[in-house]
Every structure is written in C-alpha cells, then in structure tokens.
C-alpha cells in the first residue's frame, strides 16, 4: 500500500542520529515547549486582526481540533499502519530516543496540528516574515517525528496535507463567515 521509498527514507533519517540531535529533535517534538511561541502568535494575530481576534482564535482552535481529530480519530484507526517503532523487523536498528509512541502512526498528528497552526497564522496575517518561519517550524516538528522513529515520511506529509486543508476549509467556512460584516 505504501511505496518502498517511504521506508527507505525513514531509515536514512532515523539512522542519522547523534546525541546532540536527539536532544534537539526531542525538544522540537515536545508540545509544551511551544507555549511561548503560541503566545507570540496570539499577540501577532491581535496586532493583525484586533477587531476579529475572537473569530481568529476560534478559527485556529477549530483548525487544530479538525487536524487532530482527522489524524487521530479517523485516519489512524482506519488505516492501522504500525508506527515504525512497532515494526518487528526494525527492532535491530531503529533509534528511539523518545520511546515507541502509540501503536498506529498514519497520519502524524504532530504534523497535522503544526501545519494547521502555520497555515492559519499565514492566512490570517498574510505576513511572510511570520509565515515562512512558522512553516519552517511546522516542517521541523514533522521531521523530528521521523527522526525519533515514530513516523514514516508519508505519515508527516499526509499530516501536513490534513492540517493545511483543514485550515483552508475552515477559513472559508468559519472565519470568513464570522467576519463578513466586520
């Protein structure tokens, strides 16, 4: 069902580990270290949309819920693709500095959520000086999931698609409707 390059690229990325990169990738994957970034992004949203800040925040929250639920509650139980960390044939070489993670990994909720946030922020601010770094952040978070041995590249690519598409759809269905008369 999945192409051979997906597993090959996973192995190349996962086997490229160093002690320093282990720390960096664990940091990137930790949801709670990003709270200051989220506070900064809320501030930037307020600057860009002061009259529509409630609608903007509702939109971002709904986009993250969408991304998280599509990835975790729909795709993972539907596809049932084992995370690489649970593949018996990989046990002799896989590097898991953060542990195994849950059983199924398609698609990556970290990637879906990070790209949902990135896309929402860009769509709301249209500010490239914020948009480009936030998309780089989302890509690094996604890469960290492969490096840490809990997702294949297609898992994070699909997560990115889920997050971006959800952000785009909800911008049109929610945010634009809430702010139409503002």
- Which of these, 12, 163, 164, 161, lies nearest to 84 by C-alpha position? 12
Task: Kindly list the structural domains of the chain, giving each domain's residue range(s) and its CATH number in brackets, ordered by start.
Answer: 4-178 (1.20.144.10)
Mean pLDDT to the nearest integer, 115-131:
94
pTM, 2 dp = 0.94
**73-120: pLDDT as tens digits:** 999 999 999 999 999 999 999 999 998 989 999 999 999 999 999 999
**With the C-alpha atoms ordered 161, 164, 166, 172, is the resulting torsion angle positive or negative?**
negative
**With the C-alpha atoms ordered 131, 132, 135, 140, is the resulting torsion angle positive or negative?**
negative
| Residue 58 clears pLDDT 70, i.e. is over it | yes
């Amino acid at each position: 069902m999945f192409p051979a390059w997906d597993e090959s690229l996973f192995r190349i990325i996962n086997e490229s580990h160093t002690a320093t990169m282990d720390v960096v990738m664990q940091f990137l994957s930790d949801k709670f270290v990003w709270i200051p970034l989220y506070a900064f992004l809320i501030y930037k949203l307020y600057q860009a949309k002061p009259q529509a800040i409630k609608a903007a925040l509702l939109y971002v929250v709904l986009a993250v819920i969408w991304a998280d639920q599509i990835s975790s509650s729909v795709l993972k139980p539907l596809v049932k693709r084992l995370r690489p960390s649970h593949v018996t044939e990989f046990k002799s070489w896989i590097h898991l500095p953060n542990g195994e993670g849950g059983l199924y990994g398609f698609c990556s909720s970290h990637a879906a959520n990070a790209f949902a946030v990135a896309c929402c922020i860009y769509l709301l601010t249209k500010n490239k000086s914020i948009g480009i770094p936030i998309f780089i952040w989302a890509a690094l978070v996604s890469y960290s999931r492969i490096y840490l041995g809990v997702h294949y590249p297609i898992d994070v690519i699909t997560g990115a698609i889920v997050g971006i598409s959800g952000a785009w759809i909800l911008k049109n269905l929610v945010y634009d409707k809430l702010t139409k008369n503002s």
